[in-house]
Structure 1
Amino acid sequence: MVLAVTVGAGAGLGSIAFRWLIVTFTHLFSGHGDYAGAGGSANPHVPWLGPFFVLLAPVVGGLLYGPLVDRFAKEARGHGVPEVMLAVAQRGGRINPQVSIVKALASALCIGSGGSVGREGPIVQIGSALGSTLGRVVKVSADRMRLLVACGAAGGIAATFNAPLAGVFFSMELILGAFSVEAFGATVLSSVTASVIGRAAFGDTAFLTLPPFHVEHLGQYGLFVVLGVLAGAVGVGFTRILYWIEDACDWAWRGPEWLRPAAGGLLLGLVLLVLPEMYGVGYPVLEEAAHGGYVAGFLLLLLVGKILATSLTIGIGGSGGVFAPSLFIGAMLGAAYGATTHHLMPGTAGAVGAYALVGMGAVFAGASRAPITAVVILFELTGQYSIILPLMLAIVLATLTSRLLSHDTIYTLKLRRRGIDLNAPAPGAKLGTQIVGSVMEGAPAPLPAATELSEAGDLVRLSDHGALPVVDAEGRYLGTLTARAVAEALAERPDVDTTPPAVAGDLAETTPPVTADMPLSTALHVLVAAPGTGLPVLDPDKDHLLGWLTHQSALRVLHTPATT
């Protein structure tokens, strides 16, 4: 509890410093508090350049943060969240302590000089680095270290966006990848502490100021369904284009890495000259779109421009997050969709802003595949509860669409492209690299599906595993009969004479299939959550029983090398 509160306090203070750096550098490079809403006006520091100063701002910024990142913390490049996920999954929560300082300076310079990225990735990495550093100082275990890293991420999100609940769910859904009472309690303490500090500095108001929206017609739910599917596809498209442009930048650049942001800044400057609304995070433009201030054609242009500007910023070696750009893209998509449907169905469509708000959450969910975080964070960022039902509907559909179109998210794809699978064991790990077929035991004698309940109960009781596989008359695997299922079935038969007898096939439970050719690292995730003390191992077609996987058989490979 003390450590969680301490990390939250550090993340809160870090978020204040980080936001101050962004505002300071934005004023320095553009002469405005937020140049995205300045309409392409001149920089008062160099008025003789007119709007053309945006050609130079990214170059100068790149010359400052490029050498900083290359020399002191290369992991500060990019959007940051994947590096934190990797540290938690495979490195025991260990993060370079220099990252917090380098990431804050590099991201603030990048955003202030026109980089079209967000600040959630940097603050997550900054808060997580603080948590990891504290964990090293007090010498906590690996599990506690991971939890402190998640606490830092939660505190950073909570303080930066005045969204304490979103910080908790972001860290649990994306950083830890699991929910537990202990993790929830610790991240809540950190998030609340950071939020109190953040509200003392920034005030207790919603991050985005939007008018109240309502669902005015039942027919709108059908329109929100279509928007959810479209947003899921756009989220996947944003992910693909982001990494395609990064690949193109990697292929084209042959110079030193420290110079890459400055050289690429010339291309980014051209984009900003054509569309100054792409400068920095772009929240003023997002709010204007949600208020219905742009026509559909210009909204689509802004959508394409944001995808290009963000992808280019990351591709040239910039430092910043992709959460805010995904909200921006979603707002443009939703507002354009709402404006079009309002034109076609003026009596049904309702306010354009409602579609912009729903689009924000749905595109983020499509890109990150974190639906709980998407719902909570949109509610806290905007204070809009009146359209929570269509928001939830669209976000779930966007998540399902994303899952159908892509195996990876915008965060995990960065790691997979480097050959890293978060579900696989860490490089050099003694356990997890084997194939299930090389470590499984012989399977216990299966139960025929027609075995009566009383006989099946006796056989399960005598089993060493507390469960037995069930097969049909042709020997095909149907599921697993557990002692718990037998006990519950017997308890639910008050009148044995009148209740039809149950058979093993009726009570067989299915679990996620484990096959003999599956990596042990993948099977272990299923084994941990399985009832009983083991799992059936099936053939690749998942029809016939081949063996049995237990915790003991998995651990046995630590002493007896397995053949793969």
Structure 2
Amino acid sequence: MLQIDLLQRLRQWLLPTSRASAIAYAVLIGLVAALPAVLLKVSSGWLGSWRVHAATQLPSLIVLPVVGVSFGFLAGLLVQRLAPEAGGSGIPDVKATLANVPIKLSWRIALVKLVSSVVALGSGLTLGRQGPTVHVGAALAGGLSRYLPMSPDHRRQIIAAGAGAGLAAAFNTPITGVLFVIEELLQDLSGLTLGTAIVASFIGAVVSRLLGGRSLQLNLELTANVTSFSLGEIPFYLALGILAGLLGSLFNRGVIASVKVYRQLHVSLPWRVALAGLISGIAIALLPAGFRDNTGLREFLITGEASWYIAAIAFVAQFILTLVAAGSGAPGGLFAPSLIMGSALGYLVGILEYKITGMSLPTTYALAGMGAFFSVVSKVPLTAIAIVFEMTTDFNLVLPLMIGSVTAYLIAEQVDPGSLYDKLLAVNGIYLEKAAPKKGLLTELTAKDVMQPRVETLAVQMTLDEAVQAFSRSHHRGFPVVDDGKLVGIVTQTDIAKMRDRTLPGDTLLSEIMTPEPVTVSPQASLANVLYLLDRASLSRLPVVEQKKLIGIITRADIIRAEADKLNGETGKAGPQPEPSYVVYQTRSPAVGRGRLLVPLANPQTATALLQLAIAIAKERHYEIECIQIMLVSRHSSPAETQVNTTKSRRLLRQAEVEARKFKIPVHTQIRVAHDIASAILETIKERHIDIVLMGWKGNTITPGRIFGNVVDTLIRQATCNVVLVKFAEEPAKSTHNPALWSKYRLPMRVKDMTFHNLPNFNRWLVPMAGGPNSQAAIGLLPAFLTLAEEPFIHLCQVFPESRSPADTDILEQGMRYLVRQKHLKGAVTAAPMQAKSVVEGVIELVNKQDFDVIVLGASREGLLQQAISGNIPAAIASSIDRTVILVRGAIASN
């Protein structure tokens, strides 16, 4: 049993619903992305050093072209034969994969990319290793995700984190890796994306620093005492940004043109890369020796040792040779060449500024130029600022970097809008959505949209024998186990069978049998995640939990039905749709009344009292009574085809008929089978031309986003007739009388012809007045209600804020005049204004002070947003006092 428990806990921990598993995956991705980045750095550095050394020992005009052709051909051959997806920078492929384009990311691609990039960079092509490390990191993460339990959304985030970790490891810049994921790859700031990217990039950068030769020290030696900035230089940095924006845009267009030119040659990839290696080898052999080492060239410019013509040659040479290499499809990135071109351009602007003003050294401009040109090529200005800052850790550079990078980005977006990576994908026939992509059903709908909100559950205190009986009465193969509404476990038929095989006693508690901490989903989980969990955990259904509260259950059938609805063109609400209710039993009396009053009977304990209230209204208004019982069935079953047992329901309805006939009131009864109570009541209102709905209410709700509860909220918003809700007091209030009121009238006496038993005390009535149709409707029902009292006493009140005096009492006077005109009433009626902090506090204070038995309120039907802001006064009063509360909502016009 201990081993099974440990396996269950490990399985739960590995599922993507666990935050701990997300962190563990991020750490693992950071490690596997950093190692190849370090290997690529060391291997390409060693091969490049060998090439440079060979060029010094033998004629460079022979060595460099030969190395370029041979190594270029080999790199292209590796890609073509082993993994065609490993060509080029690789970043466009990663971006396309994250946009749900079916492009492979696997360990095989990562390995081929790593080896071919080492060979290509060793050939002398002016490409960088940072793009390949991004591709390798993403490919490793993609391959790893096939063997670890991950949802589709989590897999995308892990792949993006692997790409970010690869970039962080390549440059030793963890912040840059995070920003690149957010700004370019996913464009997502959700907690899981951000947290996963941060952890993976941090681990990648730390491992790279430890294994790459810099330990954990920062790169302070690069720019020590060589940067400065003053406000007078801002125009020159703006000029640098403009130049970078224009030239960077030209470079991006050149890359696209180069790709198209190579394709027109109609030669295979190995020969294209070999041609690029030949051209690069010849050009580099003719240039000064410093151009043979790209990293050395960049640092040569940054340290300020180059002359202006060396910087100009460096920019032109890198510009042309990078276009030659990138268009061939060789495995290599554009990050490093763009940094070199940016540093050369910035160095030239810095020399010009120094000649004119002498305020700053050219090295500051070289570093700012790196960020400006990088932001244009990659269209990621924040990443460009971060990458240069992290490589230098020089705060003097922050403002120059921001001015140059943002200006360059804005200019480039005007001259050549769009991402270079998107355009490279477009050349290959892959077009990413510029606007928000259209979501499929599995990503658009959530568990809450499709779940079944009504869930059959078992209590944790239930015994084994009781659970067996529950299974025998149900077609379900499993039940959630709850404790005070909170999900604590799940029990299946298999669990019950195993326990019975072990001959456990029948009084064994369910808490000892159930599977604790079951796999669950949140209401916001996409259907894609739900399907993944169902498949991964080999389940047929999942509980939907919100703050540990069980709010529904979702099955494979629910998802299949939602898909089928979409295929059939049904655009209504997703999930199991309620069918019209079906009448399985009914009785009819003579239709002699002036109207009809509908009484839904559900709780036998309050049915008698509720029916006596209905009889009082029907007697006073000469109405017929329509009693209804609603039997709910699963939305997977048709109400018209589901067999139900109506014995108990018919017994309750017959009691209602007997009680009403004592007072010669026509009673109609019916039993409806339905998917939804509120819908069935609304159907009955329409079919039977109902004038008033009278129903019980518990006084509060725990349903999120609801005021009175699911059924009552729907009726208050949609029922076209009068709606009367009754919350009965648990203990009748003691009746006292306080005559010290504003005014008092005696109503005429009448002989009661109705006698009821087992009713709460209905003698003292409080009616808060606020004006409007609902208050008028509440007053209109008082004559009927008062027939239930032996010695009725009615008090009308109007609550005014403490900040102003009760000046306008017209509403009270109107209510008084109406009641006085009801000559058939007996008892006393008083009215008085009062002051309080709020209506709720005022009414509660009055109820507690004068011991009213019944409070009659007008029920509100404002929108839920307004209710959430201002609160619902009737609901607040009803849930705060233990008295009988009657809420009345007047009829509304039908649509």
User: Per the alignment, do residues 276 and 309 of structure 1 end up closer, same or farther by CA in structure 2, a change over 3 Å counting?
Assistant: farther
Bigger radius of gyration, 1 or 2?
A: 2
Q: CA offsets, 1:481-513, max 9 Å, x none? A: xxxxxxxxxxxxxxxxxxxxxxxxxxxxxxxxx
- 1:9 aligns with 31
Selected match of 2:42 from 6, 17, 20 = 20
Letter in 2 for 1:62: G
Selected match of 1:109 from 113, 119, 126 = 119
SS at match of 2:147: helix
Selected match of 1:249 from 262, 269, 273 = 262
How many corresponding residue pairs? 425
- 2:362 aligns with 352
The answer to whether 1:329 aligns with 2:341 is yes
Contact 1:76/1:103 (8 A) holds in 2: yes
Alpha-carbon RMSD:
2.7
Aligned equivalents of 2:97, 2:116: Cα separation in 1 = 20
User: Per the alignment, do residues 92 and 8 of structure 1 end up closer, same or farther by CA in structure 2, a change over 3 Å counting?
Assistant: farther
Aligned equivalents of 2:275, 2:197: Cα separation in 1 = 41
- 2:711 aligns with none
Aligned equivalents of 2:55, 2:107: Cα separation in 1 = 36
Q: CA offsets, 1:101-131, max 9 Å, x none? A: 0111111111111010111100000000011
Which structure has more RCO (C-alpha within 8 Å, separation ≥ 6)?
Answer: 1
- 2:630 aligns with none
Contact 2:125/2:276 (8 A) holds in 1: no
- 2:156 aligns with 146
The answer to whether 1:233 aligns with 2:246 is yes
Give 1:308 shift: 0.8
Aligned equivalents of 2:394, 2:366: Cα separation in 1 = 12
User: Per the alignment, do residues 212 and 167 of structure 1 end up closer, same or farther by CA in structure 2, a change over 3 Å counting?
Assistant: farther
Contact 1:118/1:281 (8 A) holds in 2: no
Give 1:139 shift: 4.2
Selected match of 2:402 from 379, 392, 395 = 392
- 1:219 aligns with 232
Within-5 A mapping of 1:252-401: 253-275=265-287, 282-346=294-358, 349-401=359-411
Aligned equivalents of 2:436, 2:399: Cα separation in 1 = 41
Contact 2:226/2:303 (8 A) holds in 1: no
The answer to whether 1:29 aligns with 2:51 is yes
Contact 1:246/1:314 (8 A) holds in 2: yes
Letter in 2 for 1:362: A
- 1:499 aligns with none
Letter in 2 for 1:171: V
Q: Which moved more, 1:320-329 or 1:293-302?
A: 293-302
Selected match of 1:80 from 68, 82, 90 = 90
The answer to whether 1:192 aligns with 2:202 is yes
- 1:71 aligns with 81
User: Per the alignment, do residues 428 and 356 of structure 1 end up closer, same or farther by CA in structure 2, a change over 3 Å counting?
Assistant: closer
Q: Which moved more, 1:314-323 or 1:46-55?
A: 46-55
Contact 1:92/1:146 (8 A) holds in 2: no
SS at match of 2:192: helix
SS at match of 1:204: coil
Aligned equivalents of 1:558, 1:153: Cα separation in 2 = 40
SS at match of 1:138: coil
Give 1:49 shift: 2.7
User: Per the alignment, do residues 424 and 408 of structure 1 end up closer, same or farther by CA in structure 2, a change over 3 Å counting?
Assistant: closer
Q: Which moved more, 1:17-26 or 1:163-172?
A: 17-26
> Where do 5+ consecutive residues of structure 1 fail to align?
32-43, 433-551
SS at match of 2:168: helix
Aligned equivalents of 2:155, 2:103: Cα separation in 1 = 5
Selected match of 2:142 from 119, 132, 140 = 132
Q: Which moved more, 1:202-211 or 1:105-114?
A: 202-211
Letter in 2 for 1:230: L
- 2:175 aligns with 165
Letter in 1 for 2:337: P
User: Per the alignment, do residues 280 and 408 of structure 1 end up closer, same or farther by CA in structure 2, a change over 3 Å counting?
Assistant: farther
Contact 2:173/2:391 (8 A) holds in 1: yes
Selected match of 2:193 from 145, 160, 183 = 183
Give 1:29 shift: 3.1
Aligned equivalents of 2:157, 2:134: Cα separation in 1 = 14
Letter in 1 for 2:200: S
Taking every aligned residue pair, what percent have the same amino acid on both sides? Answer: 29
- 2:223 aligns with 210
Give 1:319 shift: 1.2
Aligned equivalents of 2:236, 2:341: Cα separation in 1 = 18
Give 1:356 shift: 0.5
> TM-score, length-normalised on structure 2?
0.45
Within-5 A mapping of 1:480-491: none
User: Per the alignment, do residues 279 and 249 of structure 1 end up closer, same or farther by CA in structure 2, a change over 3 Å counting?
Assistant: farther
Within-5 A mapping of 1:385-534: 385-423=395-433
Letter in 2 for 1:71: R
Letter in 1 for 2:199: L
Q: CA offsets, 1:218-261, max 9 Å, x none? A: 2101211111111111211111112222222221x233333322
User: Per the alignment, do residues 300 and 167 of structure 1 end up closer, same or farther by CA in structure 2, a change over 3 Å counting?
Assistant: same
Selected match of 2:65 from 55, 69, 73 = 55
Q: Which moved more, 1:53-62 or 1:266-275?
A: 266-275
Give 1:394 shift: 1.5
SS at match of 1:292: coil
Contact 1:241/1:307 (8 A) holds in 2: no
Contact 1:54/1:114 (8 A) holds in 2: yes
Normalized per residue, which structure has more strand? 2
User: Per the alignment, do residues 4 and 205 of structure 1 end up closer, same or farther by CA in structure 2, a change over 3 Å counting?
Assistant: same
- 2:770 aligns with none
Q: CA offsets, 1:162-221, max 9 Å, x none? A: 111111111221111222221110111111222221121125332981233454432101
Give 1:359 shift: 0.6
Aligned equivalents of 2:185, 2:236: Cα separation in 1 = 33
Give 1:364 shift: 0.7
Contact 1:231/1:363 (8 A) holds in 2: yes
Give 1:426 shift: 12
SS at match of 1:400: helix
Q: Which moved more, 1:322-331 or 1:153-162?
A: 153-162
Aligned equivalents of 1:343, 1:558: Cα separation in 2 = 74
Normalized per residue, which structure has more helix? 1
Aligned equivalents of 2:56, 2:310: Cα separation in 1 = 29
Aligned equivalents of 2:229, 2:105: Cα separation in 1 = 49
User: Per the alignment, do residues 45 and 342 of structure 1 end up closer, same or farther by CA in structure 2, a change over 3 Å counting?
Assistant: closer
SS at match of 1:6: helix
Give 1:428 shift: 12
Letter in 2 for 1:13: L
Give 1:357 shift: 0.7
User: Per the alignment, do residues 126 and 142 of structure 1 end up closer, same or farther by CA in structure 2, a change over 3 Å counting?
Assistant: same
